[in-house]
Amino acid sequence: MQPRKSTLMIMVLLAAMTRFIPHPPNFTALIAIGLFGGAYLTDKRIALIVPLAAMFISDLFLGLHNTLIWVYLSLLLVVFMGFNLRGKIKIVPVLVANLGGAALFFLLTNFGVWITGGGYHHPLTATGLLAVYADGIPFFGNMLAGSLLYSVLLFGIFEIAAQKFPVLQPAQNRE
């Protein structure tokens, strides 16, 4: 396997393993993993599979739940957002993608909580949905903070490493 691809895959797996570190609710690397995988893993199938596999492996240990499909759907969509970062790994686009990814995760997973009746037990009405979103607001801040921290770490560490080790640069950039 190519050093660049294996390094990227290992970084995604390690970031997923941070879920085992004690943390505030929703302060995770989930958004960062999706954006990072989408931005750097050039084979789109691998970019979609690796973050999902990393999350699934950690979920096998942490526990499965009835809103998992909404979490995984969110992660898939965030990977697609990461595709849009390809060739644009700069601070502002990565920050905007983090905000968009966290918002997307918030909207989809809280919808999933509402539709499955999990957690908040609000009625399946528009008022119930709004109540679920209101209940989820404190978790949004943690999601965004975790996303930003882990994105800085993943994107920053890889960019610095790629400057020091040319084998980590895309093939077209190597001499």
DSSP 58-98: HHHHH---TTHHHHHHHHHHHHHHHHTTTT--SHHHHHHHH
pLDDT in tens, 5-23: 999 999 998 998 998 999 9
Indicate whether 99 pLDDT > 50.
yes
Indicate whether 171 pLDDT > 90.
no
CA–CA dist 150, 18 (Å, integer)? 10
CATH class of 3-168: mainly alpha
DSSP state of 172: G
Lowest mean pLDDT among 27-36, 93-102, 116-125: 116-125
What spatial distance separates the first Cα and last Cα of the chain, rounded to whole Å?
A: 19
Contact between residue 158 and residue 14 where contact means Cβ atoms under 8 Å apart:
no
Indicate whether 100 pLDDT > 70.
yes
Contact between residue 98 and residue 32 where contact means Cβ atoms under 8 Å apart:
yes
CA–CA dist 108, 95 (Å, integer)? 20
pLDDT in tens, 30-54: 999 999 999 999 999 999 999 899 8
Indicate whether 96 pLDDT > 50.
yes
Lowest mean pLDDT among 8-22, 24-38, 64-78, 161-175: 161-175
